[in-house]
Amino acid sequence: MSLIDTEVMRGLNTQGALSHEDKALLLGLELTPRYMSASEVLWQEREDTDQFCVVKEGWAYSYRNLKNGSKQIFNFYLPGDIIGIRDFGFTRRLTSVAMINKGVICPFSYQQLFELFGRSSLAVGIVATATRQQAQLSERLIYLGKYSAYEQLTHFLYEIYLRLKRIKAVENNSFFMPLTQELISDALGMSSVHVSRTFSMLREEGLVIRKRQHVMLPDPEALARLVEFNDSYIDEFLPPSFSELLKS
């Protein structure tokens, strides 16, 4: 997955807002790939903020270790996502980040980020990416505070399904999801036992079929209806007016 093929940049490209120079600059971020092993830590909370990275292959997650020995997961990163953009403007990392499975990341520096910001269309793309990541966190706060465990897992699975569908990683409503019950429980604030029981309920109702690291949603829209899923924070493309402003 190339950064230029991700949702926001693809939208800008479709609208004619990306020049050949813009595309070359984006592709230049991928010239120094790092091959990562499963569970490898990219950086720890409170380390110096010196670079960002794009996930080219594999999954990663951001988290914070709590005093009671537990872990709170904030976000899962899929191929094409930018990691560390929330740390922009801070000298220290706000969270730790680690790989889930083996993969490839492409690190880039503050200087390279400033070069991207120097081009209006790319600046729009980077800012849009950051705000969408923040929207995902905000949405999670809502359903963690108001929904039952059954609804939380339903919402979470449908969100993952939509994100993967946007990067063409869903086939016949099936997708690869390398998340253990422990990782899901740390993200949703549920026990692993509770996650297992909830998966069983969804399976018995014919809503979710999970076989190890593969998940199938026989009727994705049924999950969306169950939690009245508002997909605007994931599915909405950049306003067409953006491209007109960038061309003016």
Residue 121 pLDDT > 60, yes or no? yes
d(CA 216, CA 66): 33
pLDDT (mean) for 128-149: 72
- Taken as a whole, the chain contains a residue count of 248
Amino acid type, 65? N
d(CA 201, CA 150): 8
pLDDT (mean) for 196-201: 95
Q: Would you kindly state where each structural domain of the chain is located, as residue ranges?
A: 3-138, 148-226
pLDDT in tens, 155-188: 999 999 999 998 889 999 999 999 999 999 999 9
Q: Quote the pLDDT of residue 87.
A: 84
Q: Angle 120-146/20-28 helices, nearest 10 degrees? A: 60
Kindly report the number of other CB atoms within 10 A of residue 178's CB atom.
17
d(CA 101, CA 105): 12
Q: Quote the pLDDT of residue 183.
A: 96
Residue 239 DSSP label: P
Q: pTM higher than 0.75, yes or no?
A: yes
pLDDT (mean) for 65-89: 87
Q: Name the token pair of 142.
A: 């809502």
Per the CB < 8 A criterion, the answer to whether 63 and 71 are in contact is yes
Per the CB < 8 A criterion, the answer to whether 15 and 60 are in contact is no
Question: Cα angle vertex 98, ends 122, 234, to 5°?
Answer: 45
d(CA 121, CA 2): 17
Least confidently predicted of 92-96, 137-141, 189-193? 137-141
Q: Quote the pLDDT of residue 179.
A: 97
CATH superfamily of 3-138: Jelly Rolls (2.60.120.10)
Q: Quote the pLDDT of residue 5.
A: 66
pLDDT (mean) for 105-127: 77
32 — pLDDT class (breaks 50, 70, 90) = confident
CATH of domain 148-226: 1.10.10.10
Distant-in-sequence, close-in-space partners of 215: CB < 8 Å, separation ≥ 6: 157, 161, 174, 175, 177, 208, 209
Residue 237 pLDDT > 70, yes or no? no
Residue 13 pLDDT > 80, yes or no? no
Three-state SS sequence of 8-56: HHHHHHHCCCCCHHHHHHHHHCCCCCEEECCCCEEECCCCECCEEEEEE
Q: What's the alpha-carbon Rg for the chain, to the nearest Å?
A: 18
34-36 and 103-109 beta bridge pairing: antiparallel
Q: Please state, in angstroms and as integers, the Cα–Cα distance from residue 90 to each residue in 47, 75, 76, 107, following that order.
A: 11, 19, 21, 18
Q: Quote the pLDDT of residue 117.
A: 73
16 — pLDDT class (breaks 50, 70, 90) = low
Task: Please tell me which residue, 248 or 180, carries the higher pLDDT value.
Answer: 180
Per the CB < 8 A criterion, the answer to whether 129 and 204 are in contact is no
pLDDT (mean) for 215-238: 83
Residue 247 pLDDT > 80, yes or no? no
Q: Quote the pLDDT of residue 17.
A: 64
Task: Please tell me which residue, 18 or 246, carries the higher pLDDT value.
Answer: 18
29 — pLDDT class (breaks 50, 70, 90) = confident
Mean pLDDT of all residues in the chain? 84
